[in-house]
Structure 1
Amino acid sequence: MNQLDLTNKQCTPCQGGVSPMTSEVANKYLPLAPGWELRDDATKIKKTFKFKNFIDALALAQQVGNLCEKEGHHPDITIGWGYCSVVFQTHKINGLHENDFIMASKVNTLVDNQIIT
């Protein structure tokens, strides 16, 4: 599997009742989402995007929000002057699922296709 494979996938609804990824599995997925890092004992993935101003950080937060609403998988987003941090976790299982890496890959593609200064 490669990053493009993840980007082409759609998130599948997670109703809970499934086990979260182990840290070993999460570490295998991590290279498919360049720039993201495992956090909180491999229960979350996070990436912070840097900008030259606040308005570009705000624009990315809005674009990520729109993408995630469409996909039905929502991150925690923090913005401030010069940065936008995005954290994915599948809340129903209190850990990571393939959906989190699908969304991280899609966010990377969104950013790669934008001209944000």
Structure 2
Amino acid sequence: MSNDLAARACTACRKDTPKLDAAAIQDLSSQLADWSLRDNDTRIERAYAFDDFASAFAFVSRVAAIAEDADHHPDIAFGWGYARLSFSTHSIGGLHENDFILAARCDRMVSER
């Protein structure tokens, strides 16, 4: 299912773009394994494990490229053997479909390695 989500196009958000409602958040969350809802369902987060620092860095670099291309940027933390991503749409103060689309694209990158 997350492959279908990863294939969707991101849309531009403005401050008046509505946040996702609880039902939409639950529906989209159910399509992503290993992602957790955080901060009263205003962001999603996932940690990935890698064999070494170089692999984590390579993943983060790829995430940065797709985020820049989509103009939708996660918060990223990484180090030796791990990367942690957090998505939220800051302009609306909550979750948008774009957050789930980019999360699915990140998952797809990991499954392709």
Q: Secondary structure at the match of 1:47?
A: strand
- Looking at structure 1, the residues matched to 36 and 22 of structure 2 have their Cα atoms a distance apart, in angstroms, of 12
- Looking at structure 1, the residues matched to 47 and 64 of structure 2 have their Cα atoms a distance apart, in angstroms, of 15
Cα distance, 1:43 vs. partner?
0.3
Q: Which amino acid aligns with 1:37?
A: S
User: What CA deviation, in whole Å up to 9, does each residue of 1:23-50 have, x standing for no partner?
Assistant: 3321221121221110111000011001
Mapping for residues 2-21 of structure 1, pairs under 5 Å: 2-21=1-20
Q: Which moved more, 1:35-44 or 1:10-19?
A: 10-19
Cα RMSD (Å): 1.2
Q: Which moved more, 1:16-25 or 1:86-95?
A: 16-25
Cα distance, 1:51 vs. partner?
1.3
Q: Which runs of 5+ in 2 are unaligned?
A: none
Cα distance, 1:74 vs. partner?
0.6
Q: Which runs of 5+ in 1 are unaligned?
A: none
Q: What is the aligned residue count?
A: 113
Q: Which aligned segments of 4 or more residues in structure 1 are displaced greater than 6 angstroms?
A: none
User: What CA deviation, in whole Å up to 9, does each residue of 1:33-75 have, x standing for no partner?
Assistant: 2211101110000110011211111111101001111111110
Q: Could you say which residue in structure 1 is the equivalent of 2:59?
A: 60
With structure 2 as the length reference, what TM-score do the two structures score? 0.93
CA contact (8 A) 2:43 2:87 kept: yes
User: What CA deviation, in whole Å up to 9, does each residue of 1:51-110 have, x standing for no partner?
Assistant: 121111111110100111111111001001111001100010010000100111111111
Q: Secondary structure at the match of 2:24?
A: helix
Q: Secondary structure at the match of 2:95?
A: coil
Q: Which amino acid aligns with 1:4?
A: N
The yes-or-no answer on 1:31 pairing with 2:30 is yes
Q: Could you say which residue in structure 2 is the equivalent of 1:72?
A: 71
With structure 1 as the length reference, what TM-score do the two structures score? 0.90
Q: Which amino acid aligns with 1:104?
A: A
Q: Could you say which residue in structure 1 is the equivalent of 2:96?
A: 97
